[in-house]
Structure formats: C-alpha cells, structure tokens
C-alpha cells in the first residue's frame, strides 16, 4: 500500500526494493511484508570465505613511500664556492640544495606518486574481478597510499570476514618511518649548515 492509499503490487522475492512510502531510497521486503529496515544504497554482497582480498598491488601501494625515504639521506645540502667567469668565487646554489641527488629524489618521488595511483587502480580492478561490489575508489590514492589502504579496508570489512588491515598497518608504519627519517634528516642538515660556514672545496676548480 502506498502513502496515497492506492494498492501497489508488492514484489514476491525477499530483497531490497524502492520504498513505496518514499521515506528512503530502499526498503527491505521479507517476502510477505515491508519491514522497517531501510537503506540509502544497495548493501554490498558478501564474498565467499575463500575469496582472497589482498593483492600484490596493495602491498606495493603500502611500501612505495619507502623508496623516497631511503634516498633522502643521499641529499646533503652544504655550503660550497664556485668560480665565475671573472675569477671571483660565489656560493654554489646546486650544492645548497643537495647536488644532483636532489633532482633524482624529486623525480623518484613524483614517479612513486604516479605509481601509487596506477597500482591502486590495478588493485581496484582486481577486487572488482573477485566479486567486490563498488570497491573503494582508486582515485583516493591521489591523497596518498595510506588514505587508499584505510578506505579499502573499511569497504572490505563490510563484505568479508577476512582481515584487510595488514596493508593498512604496513602503510601506517611506512608513513611513520618517513616522518621520523625526514625530521632526523632536516635536523642534521640544518645543524650542519649552521656549524659549517663554507666547504673549502671550490666547485669546478
């Protein structure tokens, strides 16, 4: 029966259908009557217990930030002098940013970010092929691998009893390691710049 009092044919099979009273997008029909249970969207179908939910792609997403972290200590900004065409010595800006390794690390960081997005898309596609309805969208990986792995675990928790937290834990540990290494590197560089006036080596001499 609809809210206007006109009779509407009720579906025979139990399931989610459009709410005849328009109180919500969906209402559960138990096979005999409409129930108070409503939903905004169709709930995701549960996966069979044997369905694997981890992929090689999500592990790569979780571990990729380590690449830039391991290269960061190779960047060592310092004071140095280089001769000009007139024979005078001036500060070398390349040495101040850390030499050529600075650009290598920047390139690797950008490549790792792009790879994170690609691997998240591949993981999203793999989960969909295994029967996960509406997997966590890969575009969230633009905000970082940790964001993607957390959202992924939240969605998988709704469709499988298998734990999906392992990639989240690994990504969180990698994130913390990156913070610690970056802080330690920054302190070391700043202390070195303040305690050393100039590198006596003249660049290009």
Residue-level pLDDT at 179:
93
3-state secondary structure of 73: helix
Structural domain contains residue 51: no
Instruction: Report the number of distinct structural domains present in the chain.
Output: 2
Render 120-163 in DSSP notation, one character per residue: HHHHHHHHHHTT-SSPPPGGGGGG-HHHHHHHHHHHHHTT-SS-
Residue-level pLDDT at 24:
82
**pLDDT means per 10 residues in the chain (205 residues)?**
49 80 85 86 82 95 92 79 68 72 89 96 95 92 95 93 91 94 87 61 49
Give the whole-angstrom CA distance, residue 182 versus residue 179: 5
Indicate whether 98 and 166 sit together in one domain: yes
Q: To which H or E segment does residue 68 belong?
A: helix 65-71
Structural domain contains residue 49: no
Indicate whether 148 and 171 sit together in one domain: yes
The boundaries of the domain holding residue 163 are 56-202
Indicate whether 28 and 128 sit together in one domain: no
Cα-based distances in Å from 62 to 112, 116, 117, 148, 200: 11, 9, 12, 9, 42
Cβ–Cβ < 8 Å for 82, 90: yes
Q: Residue for token digits 């957390």?
A: 150
Indicate whether 180 and 80 sit together in one domain: yes
Residue-level pLDDT at 44:
80
This prediction's pTM = 0.70
Give the whole-angstrom CA distance, residue 48 versus residue 131: 9
Indicate whether 69 and 137 sit together in one domain: yes
Strand partners, 82: 90
Indicate whether 127 and 78 sit together in one domain: yes
């Amino acid at each position: 029966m609809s809210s206007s009092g006109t009779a509407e044919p009720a579906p025979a099979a139990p399931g989610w259908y459009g709410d005849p009273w328009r109180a919500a997008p969906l209402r559960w029909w138990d096979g005999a009557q409409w129930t108070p249970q409503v939903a905004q969207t169709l709930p995701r179908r549960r996966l069979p217990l044997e369905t694997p939910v981890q992929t090689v792609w999500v592990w790569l997403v979780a571990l990729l930030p380590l690449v830039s972290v391991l290269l960061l200590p190779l960047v060592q900004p310092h004071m140095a002098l280089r001769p000009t065409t007139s024979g005078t010595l001036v500060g070398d800006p390349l040495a101040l940013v850390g030499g050529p390794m600075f650009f290598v690390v920047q390139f690797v960081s950008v490549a790792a970010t792009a790879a994170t997005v690609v691997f998240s898309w591949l993981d999203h596609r793999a989960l969909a092929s295994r029967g996960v309805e509406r997997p966590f969208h890969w575009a969230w990986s633009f905000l970082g691998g940790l964001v993607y792995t957390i959202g992924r675990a939240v969605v998988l928790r709704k469709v499988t009893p298998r734990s999906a937290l392992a990639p989240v834990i690994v990504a969180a540990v990698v994130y913390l390691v990156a913070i610690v290494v970056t802080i330690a590197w920054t302190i070391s560089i700043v202390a070195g710049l303040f305690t050393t006036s100039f590198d006596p080596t003249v660049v290009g001499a």
